[in-house]
Amino acid sequence: TLDFQREEEVLAHLMHLNPGPLSPSALRNIFREIISAAREVQMPFGVAFLGPEATFSHLAALKKFGRATRFGPMTTIQEVFAEVEKGKFQYGVVPIENSTEGIVNISMDLFAESSVKICGEIFLEVSHDLVSKSGQRADIEVIYTHPQAHAQCRRWLGTHLGEIPILEVASTGVAAQKAAKNPNAAAIASAFAAPLYDLRVVEARIEDNPGNVTHFFVIGSDAPGPTGKDKTSIIFAVDNIPGALYKTLRPLAERNLNMTRIVSRPAKNEAW
């Protein structure tokens, strides 16, 4: 049985025992791949993510599951949910929020419609590169980008390439694919995308806020068991009456439970 908590405990123990000279992150990456390869022998499974390759969802999935895992790139976040719900993939990786731009609304809304469970979480530092076939800024006539990446780099783009049109696409991976086919196009993508799609870096780290982090959820059909140090997500609706939200949240305060996030989303089946 896959036990995310146990894997994290093993990795944490190895980090604690590490005397050097390898850095903790390097040692973690090595043993993540060992665990991934062993898992693939014992219990092969598939992981869906918003594709194509080199999206940040792909990088988050690699960080969590290792390269030996069978991955399935999907064209939309909706498709990731659907494939996991149908059992074609045991797990999916979906973005839920970004430290700069906030909640990813489509992922949040799909939890209200789907039966999938949250099985784990991933935090990934996100750094955006501007990439193109030539690597020369003078050749750029159009820039492809995902809406979230565009928002996270808006100030840099306005300052340095304000006259260049921006075309939004389904993912940073799709943006890189389009730039690879057009010598006068550039893409905002991960550093991992440039060698994969034979692109050159025009400018590295163009995000407006250093330390930009995206939070991902691992979704699956079965909820993991309690560990004693868990986070719990709850979807609920309240009546439109005074004090309804207060009465719902009061039991958490009374039991000294910390609430890290509250998000309000429209019901969609009725107006306010």
Please give the full DSSP string across 223-272, using - where no structure is assigned: PPPP-SS----------SSTTHHHHHHHHHHHTT-----------SSS--
Domain 129-203 falls in which CATH fold? D-Maltodextrin-Binding Protein; domain 2 (3.40.190)
Examine the pLDDT at 54 and tell me if it is beyond 90: yes
Same fold, 4-126+212-220 and 129-203: yes
Helix (H, G, I), strand (E, B) or coil at 207: coil
The answer to whether the CB of 90 falls within 8 A of the CB of 43 is no
Q: In which band, very low, low, confident or very high, does the pLDDT at 187 lie, cut at 50, 70 and 90?
A: very high
What's the DSSP call for residue 36?
H
Task: State the CATH architecture for 4-126+212-220.
Answer: 3-Layer(aba) Sandwich (3.40)
Q: In which band, very low, low, confident or very high, does the pLDDT at 1 lie, cut at 50, 70 and 90?
A: low
What ranges do the domains of the chain cover?
Answer: 4-126+212-220, 129-203
pLDDT (0 to 100) of residue 3: 72
More confident residue, 230 or 242: 242
More confident residue, 190 or 5: 190
Examine the pLDDT at 189 and tell me if it is beyond 90: yes
Averaged confidence pLDDT in the chain: 91
pLDDT (0 to 100) of residue 230: 83
Tokens found for residue 194: 């440039």
